[in-house]
Amino acid sequence: MASSGQKVVLITGCSSGIGLRIAVLLAKDEKKRYHVIATMRDLKKKDKLVEAAGDVYGKSLMLLPLDVCSDESVKHCINSVKDRHIDILINNAGVGLLGPVESISMEEMKRVFETNFFGVVRMIKEVMPDMKKRRAGHIVVMSSVMGLQGVVFNDVYTASKFAMEGFCESMAVQLLKFNVHLSMIEPGPVHTEFETKMMEDVAKMEYPGADADTVRYFKDVYLPSSKDIFEAMGQTPEDIAKCTKKVIESSNPRFRNLTNSLYTPIVAMKYADETGGLSVNTFYNLLFNFGPLMHITMSILKCLTCSCLRRRTISPN
């Protein structure tokens, strides 16, 4: 139970990665400002979180089951919180999907939207009325730079993030009238076990329905380039957790928060040309015409962006 003066923070998707790191960072806050409710779909996967939390588990951090794809699960979880009082909701749960779209079934696509988009909508719908009544609250949504700029072979995942960005951009206007803030966290590549395993798995898969050239471009061009980008520009879950903590502690939190300043020119390029041709043609040339040059560029960038030089997190204030 939260102590007097503590803010109640509910976080989705805490079994690993970013969600786990946010939960532990807030629960171990030196000023003891947060009571963290970490949630995950399967409590059998709680071991990593419990180990990372250490002695704050059961004190400033508690654990509840939550499946963002289930209306009943979402309602039951929120009803389990004392007085349904949640000061900060951090929507982190999400799934990825990578590969040629011809080989991806409609069911797989719907699963991504069910989690990444409708899962967020369910959570916001459940906590928003209470926040509006209290005229206070902060909703944080873990988005991605792919919610701002499309990335080849990430078509469906990108679409789910674009949808979420549009939904939240619309909601943010209404919520401000009730003194409720909404913030998007937009990381680029993040080194997690999930990402590493997904990249390894897709390299071994067959892609029925996709033509041979497309499969070759995906495996021999996109995947090596993606690996270069991750190594040169990737952040850690701890980086994103620190960024998120800054956002919720800001006196005037921003709506959009890119966590990696190296991506700012990429996003700016899209909006510099209203026809869209500049960004589409630039990414096409980088991937298909200048692959070797891109590899060299990323290698140089990796050397220039060591942890002591890279500005990893944003400064919301």
20 labelled ligand-binding: yes
Q: Is 111 annotated as a binding residue?
A: no
* Cα 259 to Cα 156, 233, 281, 300, distances in angstroms: 22, 11, 25, 21
Q: Is 40 annotated as a binding residue?
A: yes
In three-state secondary structure terms, 104 is: coil
Spatial CA neighbour of 10 closest among 186, 135, 128: 128
Q: Is 28 annotated as a binding residue?
A: yes
Query: Mutual orientation of helices 106-116 and 155-176 as an angle, nearest 10°?
Result: 30
Active site residues: 157
Task: Please indicate if the annotation marks 32 as binding a ligand.
Answer: yes
Q: Is 15 annotated as a binding residue?
A: yes
Is 23 labelled a binding residue? yes
Q: Is 303 annotated among the ligand-binding residues? A: no
Pairing of β 88-91 and β 7-11: parallel
Single out the residue of 101, 77, 105 nearest to residue 89, CA to CA.
77
What is the phi-psi region of residue 83: left when phi exceeds 0, alpha when psi lies from -120 to 50, beta otherwise? left
Residue 87, marked binder: no
Q: Is there a binding annotation on residue 136?
A: no
161, 146 in Cβ contact below 8 A?
Answer: yes
What does the H/E/C string look like for 151-173? Answer: CCCCHHHHHHHHHHHHHHHHHHH
Q: Which residues are annotated as a binding site for substrate?
A: 144
Q: Which residues are annotated as a binding site for NADP(+)?
A: 13-41, 67, 161
Q: Which residues are annotated as a binding site?
A: 13-41, 67, 144, 161
